[in-house]
């Protein structure tokens, strides 16, 4: 940075750093010369020098024109001089001869109005930015805590089976690091964000200062140049804000380590396949069609279900819309996820942990049952576990129903029709909260959760 500092134009002070620049004299001035210059040339326009920034000079530096800025090129959004717009394009003249050029007065109101908008934008941004930075820090603190918790869990398990699993432990710890690096990129975004308040503050202060100087035509070119700087700062701020938004997407994803104490005896015999992490991007589903929907699904259900290893048991479009087909696929199965698509846009479903007995003809209690909506990004807890599951001839599947019109969904008639009302069994807030009044589904998939 020292090499770029401007030096005083006085030959006797050639090694002294300049502190200001005189536009009229076209010279740099040090502290020793400053007072004399102000006394001799009171009406000259001078600028304080910030050696961290390129100083604005009111005369065109293109090919050393050294002519006062009097025009503005709308095509290139920059100040220019008479030489720049000369109709003869030669020897550095006429770079903007074919551009849309106006005098500075003609662009004044446009820049003035844009500055007011930018000041308002910066004021609003100043209020919200600190909260955004705090939230982003909180997100990354949570991510780091999950990573450390997962590593600690792995290490505790390996102390019990150290002889057989030393090599695998190292592999899994590395895999944890890699998975988090893959899912949560751009961790340096916080450092970028922490620079923003100072940038915004400076731009805001500068904007408010120059907003009072529009009537001083001697400073007009300088004002417009500063307006351009503020506009460029806002572009950079918007880019960083977009990065903040993108980095929030994955903040609640959990990576599961699917090992329970009761399975320890089997681990030794399956050492090579031990410790697979449960982020399954290859789920056999026609309803969850893309990675964003899968992440949203895993994120929502991971707080309720320890493992999301899922095996497809039934698909309506594949196995047929009939009761016998469904019964054969899910009878005597437990830990089931029902996933519905209706109106081609609404995705919702339910989870039941108790065993399904299709000929049981009475309610099955299930305290772990819940209903969920991907569109609402919400889980609806069961309020009356005694009415969780029921099978009956005319109404083959009921989830959360007490025969008083308080059903979650009921198959009837053409089998792909269902009744969806406001149950007292789950904590819905309004009728048709899941399907928005749709009476038929486009697709149904039933998955079995496996823990091995």
What contacts 386, CB < 8 A, 6 or more positions away?
Answer: 363, 365
For residue 312, what pLDDT is reported? 93
Residue appearing with tokens 């920059």: 78
Of 404, 409, 423, nearest to 338 by C-alpha is 409
Determine the distance from the C-alpha atom of residue 212 to the mean position of all C-alpha atoms in its chain, rounded to a whole number: 38
Backbone angles phi, psi at 43, to 5 degrees: -95, 0
pLDDT at 362 over 50: yes
DSSP notation for 195-262? HHHHHHHHHHHHHHHHTT-TT-GGGHHHHHHHHHHHHHHHHHHHHHHHHHHHHTTTTT--------GG
| pTM of the entire predicted model | 0.40
Of 391, 4, 69, 77, nearest to 229 by C-alpha is 77
Of 115, 109, 83, 107, nearest to 97 by C-alpha is 83
Number of neighbouring beta carbons within 10 Å of residue 411: 20
The rounded distance, in Å, linking the Cα atoms of 213 and 47 is 15
Q: How many CA atoms lie less than 13 Å away from 326 in the CB half-sphere?
A: 22
Residue 210 CB-density burial (10 A; 0-12 exposed, 13-18 middle, 19+ buried) = buried
Q: What is the mean pLDDT of residues 151-174?
A: 76
Q: What is the mean pLDDT of residues 132-138?
A: 80
Q: Which of 113-122, 245-254, 291-300, 331-340 has the lowest mean pLDDT?
A: 245-254
Cα distances (Å, whole numbers) of residue 46 to 19, 26, 33, 85: 10, 9, 13, 27
Of 343, 327, 336, 346, nearest to 411 by C-alpha is 327
Q: Choose between 223 and 361: higher pLDDT.
A: 223
Number of neighbouring beta carbons within 10 Å of residue 389: 24
Of 418, 419, 420, 423, nearest to 443 by C-alpha is 418
Q: Name the percent of the chain lying above pLDDT 70.
A: 74
Q: What is the mean pLDDT of residues 315-328?
A: 81
For residue 384, what pLDDT is reported? 76
- Dump pLDDT digits (tens) for 373-413: 898 888 887 777 887 777 665 555 555 544 444 445 544 44
Instruction: Report domain extents, the chain.
Output: 2-103, 105-247, 280-450
- Dump pLDDT digits (tens) for 95-132: 888 999 999 999 999 999 899 999 988 888 888 887 77
């Amino acid at each position: 940075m020292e090499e770029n500092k401007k030096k005083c134009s006085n030959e006797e002070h050639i090694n002294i750093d300049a502190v200001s620049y005189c536009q009229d004299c076209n010279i740099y001035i040090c502290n020793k010369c400053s007072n004399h210059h102000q006394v001799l040339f009171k009406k000259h326009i001078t600028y304080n020098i910030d050696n961290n920034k390129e100083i604005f000079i009111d005369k065109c530096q293109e090919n050393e024109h050294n002519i006062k800025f009097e025009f503005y090129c709308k095509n290139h959004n920059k100040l220019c001089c008479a030489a720049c717009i000369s109709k003869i394009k030669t020897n550095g003249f006429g770079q903007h001869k074919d551009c849309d050029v106006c005098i500075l007065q003609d662009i004044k109101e446009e820049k003035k109005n844009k500055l007011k908008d930018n000041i308002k934008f910066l004021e609003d941004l100043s209020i919200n930015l600190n909260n955004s930075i705090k939230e982003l820090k909180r997100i990354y603190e949570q991510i780091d805590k999950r990573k450390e918790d997962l590593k600690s869990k792995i290490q505790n398990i390996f102390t019990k089976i150290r002889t057989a699993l030393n090599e695998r432990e190292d592999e899994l710890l590395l895999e944890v690091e890699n998975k988090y690096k893959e899912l949560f990129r751009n961790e340096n975004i916080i450092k970028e964000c922490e620079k923003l308040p100072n940038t915004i503050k400076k731009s805001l202060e500068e904007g408010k200062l120059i907003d009072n100087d529009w009537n001083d035509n001697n400073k007009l070119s300088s004002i417009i140049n500063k307006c351009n700087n503020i506009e460029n700062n806002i572009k950079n701020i918007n880019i960083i804000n977009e990065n903040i938004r993108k980095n929030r997407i994955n903040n609640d994803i959990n990576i599961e380590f699917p090992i329970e104490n009761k399975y320890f005896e089997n681990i030794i015999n399956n050492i090579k396949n031990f410790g697979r992490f449960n982020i399954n991007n290859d789920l056999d589903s026609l309803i969850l069609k893309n990675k964003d929907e899968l992440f949203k699904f895993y994120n929502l259900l991971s707080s309720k279900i320890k493992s999301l290893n899922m095996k497809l048991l039934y698909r309506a479009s594949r196995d047929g819309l009939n009761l016998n087909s469904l019964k054969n696929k899910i009878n005597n199965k437990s830990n089931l996820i029902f996933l519905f698509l209706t109106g081609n846009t609404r995705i919702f479903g339910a989870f039941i942990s108790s065993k399904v007995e299709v000929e049981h003809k009475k309610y099955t209690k299930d305290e772990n049952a819940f209903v969920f909506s991907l569109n609402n990004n919400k889980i609806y807890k069961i309020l009356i576990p005694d009415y969780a599951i029921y099978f009956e001839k005319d109404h083959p599947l009921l989830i959360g129903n007490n025969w008083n019109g308080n059903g979650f969904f009921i198959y009837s008639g053409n089998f792909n029709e269902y009744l969806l009302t406001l149950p007292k069994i789950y904590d819905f807030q309004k009728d048709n909260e899941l399907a928005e009044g749709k009476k038929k589904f486009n697709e149904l998939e039933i998955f079995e959760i496996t823990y091995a």
